Structure 1
Amino acid sequence: MIASVECSAVSGEVYAPPSKSYTHRAILITSLGPGGRVLRPLLSADTLATISASEAFGAKIGKEEKKDDLFIDGVGDLPQTPENVIDVLNSGTTLRFCSAVAALTDGAVLTGDSSIRTRPNGPLLDSLRELGADAFSIKNNGKAPLVIRGKMLGGTAHLQGGLSSQFLSALFIASPLAERETRIRIVGELKSRPYAEITLDMLHDAGITIEEGEQEFIVPGGQSFDLERYTIPGDFSSASYPLAAAAVTGSEVMVKGILPSRQGDSAIIDILTLMGAQVSWNRESGDLRIKGGELEGIEIDAGRTPDLVPTIAVLGAVAKGTTTVVNAEHVRHKETDRLHAMAVELTKMGAKVKERPDGLEITGGKLHGASVHGYHDHRIVMALTVAGLVAGETRIDTAEAVDVSYPGFFREMERLGARVRVE
């Protein structure tokens, strides 16, 4: 699918889609217990993969007719051995979380699309083996297809924290059902820590006890899950695109449904403010209003907010001066190498971008239209769409990738006034 974008401004109101991160966790945690309801979930390609995987472990999941609310009949702390291979499609979250759950069963094979089969999982496999499971990559390279055989008993795991917090969240979700206590010791800096904190919050809501430290977590074994009802908050990662669209075009937009949560990507508010946009947020109503203007380049540490990097790169390409993104090496291990992808594609559009091992240096200027590659990556496609609003005459391939996290993205952008056509 090709998305064609012309120069245009945006205005009006849009509701933020529900959080993908919270939806994944709510589905799986509710499925592991007796069951319950997940209200206002994001039903996208990625979260549908988690629904399918949860059903493979024995949960029964249905959707309310007139709403997207989910009704879940859970496994009661006893996930079943899947009858077939679990295909996570393009969802790295599903792969990591469900690999850990598989260590509670007699065994499972997990794989996904060509992108998933390039993503590293070595730290998680190492930790699962330390906890008593048999966990390995069929190609012996730490990448899917993965074979996981239980049972995970507990003990001490030493987890490398530099690649992804998803490995830690996966251990948080599975280890309460291990026979014995689990100690998870983080080796090095834990990147994307806010996502792990989201998992801790939700597990606490489900009645799970985890002793939290800076570099060590203690999880008692033999616990039970109970998350009866959970409402998914609006997603800051997805909200960053209409917010950035207003910022780069000097427009005014309100994004509704953005309530306070532990999402690290709420940093987009501070980033836009520091760059010169006028941002106001009513935390009680969830209304987030932005008015764009002349933006200034800044330095941004992306250690806690990897999913914002494509958006930040576009903001930097339009801003005066230089925008520097640092501490972002882990962004290379997402659906694609997002540092390299944004450097290459924004350069095609006339931006001056220097790619560093752990970040980007972007000198803002006038962008021009170009045919650019979306890398089958939802965040690359949406960020380049925002760039196209300023550049004009921009064509983005693999545009269907937005279905991973924001299925209505192009429709919502059009409703705000963006001149976008999808072929």
Structure 2
Amino acid sequence: MLKQDYQTWMDQVEPDQDFQARLTEAMTSEPVKTPRHTFRVLVAAAVMCGLLGITAAAYYMGAFEFLKEQNEYAMLGMNEVYETCAQPVGVSVTAENGDVFTVDRVATDGTFCTIFYCLYVQDETWQYAPRMALCSGGEDISMEGYDNSFENQEYLADDHTLYGAWRFLLRMPLEDGEQVELKLARYGDAEPGELAPLLWENTLTFSVNPIQGEQFELDAVLSARIGGEPVQVEAVSLNRSPLGTLLRLRWAEEDSSEKDWYDFALRDGDTGAYIPYDQVVINHYWDPEGYVDSVYELYGDVRGLKQLEIIPTTSVGGVSPRQVVALEDLPSADSGNPDGGYAPASYEAVDGQLIVKMQPVGAVNAWYARLLNGVYFQDAQGEDLFEDVWVEKIKNRSDGTITVISTPSAESYARDVDKVARICFSVQQYKLLEGQKAVIRLDAQ
């Protein structure tokens, strides 16, 4: 569990990407077995399955239909898209121990592949989900380490049945009718200090019919600072489809070997509307030799985007301040930064959870989206509330809002929930460097 004082410290510093990855792994490596909770192997922002009042009868429902009924899944803003694009598959494999893994549907384009699946296990354990790899012709075609989005979402229907949606980032586009292999490996509970035992390995094979998206080869160079050093950053490509829009940037490793982000704002050059986004954590093993790739997913409706402006931002000041908004002032458009950021739009307390929706305001970069927390609660006198808070952030790809779900200890929730009068959130003070922006025309290839 994240302690509130620790969260405060984390919001005042910006650990590098590798540190955050190690921290996430450490925090999720040995979860306590709690009824209706399940472990996310690759994703830090896990969905707490204990919130779902679900019966064993749900096993007889398809994974896709089941997920559509879940509140957290709806927060992703992708229901309508997947309803149109997810194609039936209906293939299963049974392991030697009787576990059954079923791929219900799949939605794929040239960039993403989302697998909707169901796993029925014979044993009762916290380690439900198998590790997955997507292959074609025996070659791994997924970029392990895809993070900062919603997948893998997992929900326990009962002590034996798991439903989920696993989203792969593809290294190469798939052809219409192409056969892919989904490699599975499920591990059991590990004793302290020991490796988890392998329970079984299996492979499922099925064909895909990717929807057609748009691919843009970009030709622009930006001046940036990464790790405090000036670096020339190349805008390489932008791939756009209903399943997601991905921007790829690149810089020479000799200029900076940092696998880190640098901050910028995105703007529609024709309408002037700012575009929220977040960085995608990838496995840099696949970077071109001598270069570092950095990948970003754009949120909101960018179907009509014809001219993209990339505007570097620079931090102003030192420690990140807190912005305070009274509940009576919601929804708020005050991000605490003149150029833009995130501000609370709504708040509710239900079933032991504190749910705040943060909306993008003005020119947003990815700083707030990548925070481990970023939302706190105070009483009318300004005293901090709640203890032992577990935080998950769900990012809505249809509008860029971020739902922050805080689950404190049951004792502190009962003690403090009626005292909440103010929402606090962390702010990065930054300004736009308009003179260094890159303007890119999107001409379909």
Q: TM-score range by the shorter chain?
A: under 0.3
Please, what TM-score do these two structures have when normalized by structure 2? Answer: 0.25
Q: Work out which structure has the larger RCO, using CA pairs closer than 8 Å and 6 or more positions apart in sequence.
A: 1
TM-score, normalising length from structure 1? 0.26
| Structure in which a larger fraction of residues adopt strand | 2
Please identify which structure carries the higher helix content.
Answer: 1
